[in-house]
Amino acid sequence: MTRRSPSTGSILFLLIPVALLMGFFGCATSSKDDATSAGTGSEFSDAGATASADSSAAAAPKGWTDPGMVHFSFDRSEITEADAPVLKDVAGQVNDLGIKIVISGYTDNRGTEEYNLALGERRAAAARSYLVNLGVPANQMTIVSYGELRPLQRGNNEEAWAMNRRAQFAPLQ
């Protein structure tokens, strides 16, 4: 008796339902899902990552003090006059200490992961541009976007969303 190898058609017949089920259960959340995951941010949240994990430096250079962060309006990346003191502090420290910094851009958890990564990058770039206008050499700054992946405050309410729409500054080692 000879054994027949499975045909390509029968393999595809078995794989298609699996792929459909994975696509069905692995896609974007619905409003029902948002209600059940309200304490965890969003489907894209890095469960182990928080804003405290954002500091890229083990020990800050001597003289560096945390200048604070810049906050943004919903779906915006413009720097406001209210942010000027933080940015002037960053510029002063970078120029005085001769250090390089990373500017991290973040968003709240509304929108797609791709959109939020792009918005976070625009926010970090806006902060860098402002700092360049204050005299900080562009080659002393690197930008990165975490989008919604590292929330400062978890939750699905305006208070949490406002806290998470930000740019932060950290020295590079």
Instruction: Spell out the per-residue pLDDT of the chain, length 173, in tens.
Output: 554 545 444 433 444 444 433 343 333 333 333 333 333 333 344 434 444 444 444 578 898 999 999 999 999 999 999 999 999 999 999 999 999 999 999 999 999 999 999 999 999 999 999 999 999 999 999 999 999 999 999 999 999 999 999 999 999 97
Q: Helix H segments across 37-138?
A: 84-97, 113-133
pLDDT, residue 119, reads 97
DSSP 42-69: -TT--TT--GGGG---SSPPTT-----E
- Tell me the C-alpha distance between 159 and 161, whole Å: 6
Q: Supply the pTM of this predicted model.
A: 0.68
Domains and CATH numbers, the chain: 45-171 (3.30.1330.60)
Strand pairing of 141-147 and 166-171? unpaired
